[in-house]
Chain A
C-alpha cells in the first residue's frame, strides 16, 4: 500500500499538522519541484549560448537548480559563445534562480613532469581565485593527463593533492572527474596504459583510477563520479560509491543515449548508494552537445529525474 493511500485510509490526510510533513510530501507532486538537480552546461552545446538569460530561465522551468560550468578561461566563460565575465554569467544564472555550484576546467598541460608542474601550480592558483571571486564551490579537473606507467600515475596523484591544496587555500573544493580511460591499467616502468579484452593483466598492473584514489590525500581530493564512463571502462560505479562514500561528493548522471533508456546502467542502485553516503549534488551530462535538439534532450532528462521515485 502506498503511504499516501494508507494515510488517507486512516483518515489522517486532513490533519493539518501533517501537511508540512516531509514524508507526506514524498508522495505528492509538489516534491518533484523540490528535487534538486543540476546540469553540466556543456550538454546544451551551442543552444544555451544564443540567449543565456532565456536559456537559464528555461532550465529553471524544466526543474534544474544548479549548474556546473565548462569553458572557464582567465576570469570568463567562453563555451559555444563569446567570453562572458564569470561574475556576469553567475548573475544571469542567479537571476533565473540557478546556482553555479561547480566548474570543469582543463589544465593547459597534458604531460605532468618536474618541468611542467610549476606551471600547473600557477594555473590552479589563478583559476581558483577566479572561481572564489564568484563563490563557486567546486573546481573540477575534467580529464586525466597522460598516464603511461605506475610512476606517472603516482606523479599525477601527487599533483592532484597539491592542486587541491592550492585550490582550498582560495576557499574552493577541488575534485577530479573520470572518463572511461581511468579504468585502464598501468605497469611499473610501463610505456603505455593497457585495456585488455580477455585474459589477465601482467602482474603488478594497477588501475589508474585506483592509484588516483589511493595515493591522493583523502582530506583534500574529492571525486566527481561519472558512472556511465566507469561502466564503459568495465568498472562498477556502485563498488566505488561504497568504497569511497565521503570522497565521491559529486556525480555526473548520464546514460548511453537517453537517460533511463539503456540496459547498461542501473541509475537506481547508483542513486540509492549516493544518498546512503549522505551526498546530494549531481549534474546531468549529455555528450551529444551538437545535436541541435539538446534542450529537448535536457528536458527529457529532467522529466526522467522528476518521475524517478528513487531520486530525491
Chain B
C-alpha cells in the first residue's frame, strides 16, 4: 500500500497538517525566514537598477530584504560622487533607510592605465608598480577623506592589473603598493585599507616565470607561489586586510574554507557570491564557509551578483537574500 492510499484509508488526508507530508520525500517544514541578520550588499550588484527612479526607494527595498550593511562601488574621485549622486545625498539616503555604509571599493586609475587601449590606438606602455607608487599614494589621500565623511570603516581595492603580475618580484612590488596605500589611508583618515581578490590572485608565479598559472590544472607551476599568499606575506597586517571573494577563490581552484583556516588573521571580510543566484549552483558550500568565518570572529560579508546590466538584479538579489535569510548558518 502506498502512503497516500494508507492515509486515505485512515481518513487523515484532510488534516491540514499533513498537507506538507504528501510527497514521498520528507518535506521539511516551511523554512523560517529571518530578516534580522547581518546581511551586507556590494552595491555594484544592482548596476543601473540602484539609481533607476529614486535612490532612497531602492535602498528601502534593499533594507526590507534584511540587508543592513553596504559596501559601495562607483566612487568617482574627480566628481566626489557615488554613481551620479553626491556623497552627502548618498549618505543621507542610506541613513534614512537604516543602512550602514561599512566599506567601499575604489581602484586607482593609474593601475589600469595603458591596459585597455582604444581600438586602433597603440597601447601606451604601462608604468611599473614602483614607478606608479607616488601617484597611487597621492590618489588615496582625498579618497580616504571623502570616505571618512561617508562614515565608512573600510576602503577596499578590488583588483590588480590583469596579467600584470608575472613573477615573484612583481607580486612583491604590488604588495608594496598595497602596503603604502594602506598606510596612507590609515594616516589620512583612520580607515582600514583592504584588498579584494578575483581568480587571478590564486594563480602561481615563480622567480623566473613569465606568466602566472593556475596550480592544479594542466600541471602548471606546481612549485610556484600563489600570488595572494605573496600579497599577504609581504604586507603589514595593520595596513592591509583581505576581503576574500569566495566565488573567485573557487574559480582560482582554491578552497575558501582552507583560506579562512590558514589566514584567519588576515581575512576580515567576505564577498558572498555564486555563479548567479546564491545557493543555486553546485560550486560552493556556504555552510562550511560561514561556519569558519564566524569561528574566526568576523562579521562583515557582502552579497555580490555579476551580470549587472541584466535588468533582473533586484529579483536575483531578493532570491539570494532569501537563501541567506532561510539558512540557519547565517547570522
Q: Which A residues fall within an 8 A CB radius of B?
A: 1-3, 6, 10, 12, 17-18, 21-23, 26-27, 180-181, 184, 195, 197-199, 227, 231-234, 236-239, 241, 256-257, 260-267, 269-270, 273, 309
Count chain B CB atoms within 10 A of each CB in A18, A233, A234 and give the residue with the most.
A234
* CB contact under 8 A between A227 and B250, given known A197-B162, A198-B198: no
Q: How far apart are the CA atoms of A197 and B212 in the complex, in Å? A: 9
Identify which of B255, B260, B285, B289 contacts A267 (C-beta below 8 A).
Answer: B285
A-B contact pairs, 11 of them (CB 8 A): A23-B26, A27-B26, A181-B217, A198-B198, A198-B199, A236-B281, A237-B283, A260-B285, A265-B284, A266-B282, A269-B282
Binds A, one of B17-25, B67-75, B90-98, B176-184: B17-25
Identify which of A27, A197, A231, A273 contacts B250 (C-beta below 8 A).
Answer: A231
B200 to chain A, nearest CB (A): 5
B295 CB within 8 Å of chain A = no
Question: Which residues of B are found within 8 Å of A256, using beta-carbon distances?
Answer: 255, 258
Interchain CB contact under 8 A, B255 and A263? yes
B288 CB within 8 Å of chain A = yes
Known: A22-B3, A238-B283, A264-B284. 13 other contacts (CB 8 A): A10-B12, A17-B1, A17-B6, A21-B3, A197-B163, A197-B200, A237-B283, A256-B255, A262-B255, A262-B288, A263-B246, A263-B250, A264-B254
Question: Which residues of A are found within 8 Å of B250, using beta-carbon distances?
Answer: 231, 263-264
Identify which of A21, A180, A257, A269 contacts B217 (C-beta below 8 A).
Answer: A180
Interchain CB contact under 8 A, A263 and B257? yes
Interchain CB contact under 8 A, A236 and B6? no
Interchain CB contact under 8 A, A257 and B255? yes
Interchain CB contact under 8 A, A265 and B198? no
Question: Which residues of B are found within 8 Å of A18, using beta-carbon distances?
Answer: 6
Interchain CB contact under 8 A, B257 and A227? no
* CB contact under 8 A between A239 and B162, given known A233-B217, A261-B288, A263-B257: no
Question: Which residues of A are found within 8 Å of B282, using beta-carbon distances?
Answer: 227, 231, 236-239, 241, 265-266, 269-270, 273
B225 to chain A, nearest CB (A): 16
Q: How far apart are the CA atoms of A1 and B281 in the complex, in Å? A: 28
B11 to chain A, nearest CB (A): 12
- The B192-222 residues at the A interface (CB cut-off 8 A) are 198-200, 203, 212, 214, 216-218
Q: How far apart are the CA atoms of A14 and B295 in the complex, in Å? A: 43
Q: How far apart are the CA atoms of A181 and B216 in the complex, in Å? A: 10
Question: Which residues of B are found within 8 Å of A241, using beta-carbon distances?
Answer: 282
B40 CB within 8 Å of chain A = no
Q: How far apart are the CA atoms of A12 and B17 in the complex, in Å? A: 14
Q: How far apart are the CA atoms of A184 and B250 in the complex, in Å? A: 16
Interchain CB contact under 8 A, A263 and B284? yes
Identify which of A197, A260, A269 contacts B203 (C-beta below 8 A).
Answer: A197
B244 to chain A, nearest CB (A): 10
Question: Which residues of A are found within 8 Å of B12, using beta-carbon distances?
Answer: 10
Identify which of B26, B217, B254, B283 contacts A195 (C-beta below 8 A).
Answer: B217
